[in-house]
Amino acid sequence: MRPSKAAGTVSGSAAAQSQQQVPAVQLHNAGVDFGDRTLWNGLDLDVRPGEFIAVLGPNGSGKTTLLKVLLGMQRLTSGTAQIAGKPVGHGSPDVGVIPQQRPLPEGTPLRARDLVAQGIDGRRWGPRWLDPQRRQTQERVDALLEKVGASDYAERPVWMLSGGEQQRLRAAQALATDPALLLCDEPLLSLDVAHQEDITNLIASQAKQENTAVLFVTHEINPVLPHVDRVLYLAGGRFRIGTPEEVITTESLSDLFGRPVDVVRVGDRVAILGGEDHVHHDHDHGHSHGEAAR
């Protein structure tokens, strides 16, 4: 069922046994500089398996860079980063990624099930019809589609699906290898409120079930708040880590930003005023994605 894990190193089985104890993510005194500009530094963070962490902060505070560090696409200037007890590598099956919703162009030659299958065998060489494991792949795809409630449109072209349906498929794709860590890069962007809650519920419940840790980068605090164990708030080269009650307060954020920031609670919803929230996030993200693809 987990073909990519079976292909691990010799010490892989020992590591898997102790995975319950080993933190999903361990950042120790981690820092990233771009030239003379410090993005963040001195970051210590242990993420337990199954823990859901929201990564918040204004544009340019280094949220996406943090994800890139954990994907091995950005080097730390200082400190160390480990995932499931192993140093960060290039493209490990231990890490799943859910990107932001980006409409797939009309005519893209993929059905829903093909998109999910890419999460399982997308990095293997050769065409699928020559792959001796193609039966297992198909079964795994069916199971994943079922899991995210996408079986109804398994055979439909991906580009005909709504943004919410596409994000379900991307979630299934990211969960395909039973990763220890799920990195979500603004997966709610350009979805309407109903779909935002829908997708967040899906990601959170799957992660709890599989004991997968989640780092959820987002500008939309409210859909994720019910699921969040801890918040990592980045701003101006500094950060705060703690429960939402500790971090998302007027005092704590004013201190972090070094200027007055107001946290307003209306019912069970939160608004952060003066924290540069909900502003300009679209092009900020388009930009960082371009960098990531390089």
Partner 1 sequence: MNAVNAVIGTDLWGRVFSFQDYGELLGLLWPSLGAGAVLGVVGGVIGVVVMARDMGFAVHGISELSFAGASAALLLGFDVVTGSVVGSILAALVLGLLGSGARERNAITGVLMPFGLGLGILFLSLYEGRSANKFGLLTGQIVAVDGDKVVTMVAGAIVVLTGLAIIWRPLMFSSTDPWVAVARGVPQRTLSVVFVVLLGLAVAMAIQIVGALLVLSLLITPAAAALHLTSRPGKAVLLSVVFAVVSVVGGIMLALAGSLPVSPYVTTLSFAIWLVARAVGGRRERRGSGGGRVSGGRGAGSTAPGAVSAGLSQAASG
35/290 with CB nearer partner 1: 290
Report the nearest approach of partner 1 to the CB of residue 196 (Å).
8
Report the nearest approach of partner 1 to the CB of residue 118 (Å).
5
48/289 with CB nearer partner 1: 289
CB 5 within 8 A of CB 86: no
Report the nearest approach of partner 1 to the CB of residue 264 (Å).
17
- H or E stretch at 140: helix 134-147
How many C-alpha atoms does 13 have within 13 Å on its Cβ side? 2
CA distance 181 to 117: 19
Give me the residues that bind partner 1 (CB under 8 A), please. Answer: 71, 73, 90-93, 95, 97, 99, 102, 104-111, 114-115, 118-119, 121-130, 152-153, 156-162, 164-165, 168, 170, 173-174, 183, 185, 192-195, 197-198, 289-290, 292-294
78/108 with CB nearer partner 1: 108
42/227 with CB nearer partner 1: 227
228/253 with CB nearer partner 1: 228
Report the nearest approach of partner 1 to the CB of residue 82 (Å).
17
Residues 6+ apart with CB under 8 A from 17: none
Residues pairing with 45 in the sheet: 27
Please tell me what DSSP assigns to residue 178.
Answer: -
Report the nearest approach of partner 1 to the CB of residue 237 (Å).
25
Report the nearest approach of partner 1 to the CB of residue 199 (Å).
9
Please tell me what DSSP assigns to residue 229.
Answer: S
136/162 with CB nearer partner 1: 162
Residues pairing with 240 in the sheet: 233
102/278 with CB nearer partner 1: 102
Following CA atoms 228, 230, 231, 237 in sequence, which dihedral angle do they give, to the nearest 10 degrees?
-160
Report the nearest approach of partner 1 to the CB of residue 241 (Å).
24
Report the nearest approach of partner 1 to the CB of residue 259 (Å).
30
Tokens of residue 198, six digits: 């829908």
CA distance 101 to 166: 7
Query: How many residues make up the chain in this entry?
Result: 294
At CB < 8 A and 24+ separation, what contacts does 198-203 make?
198/164, 199/164, 199/167, 199/168, 199/171, 200/224, 200/227, 201/227, 202/148, 202/149, 202/168, 202/171, 203/98, 203/171
35/267 with CB nearer partner 1: 267
CB 34 within 8 A of CB 4: no
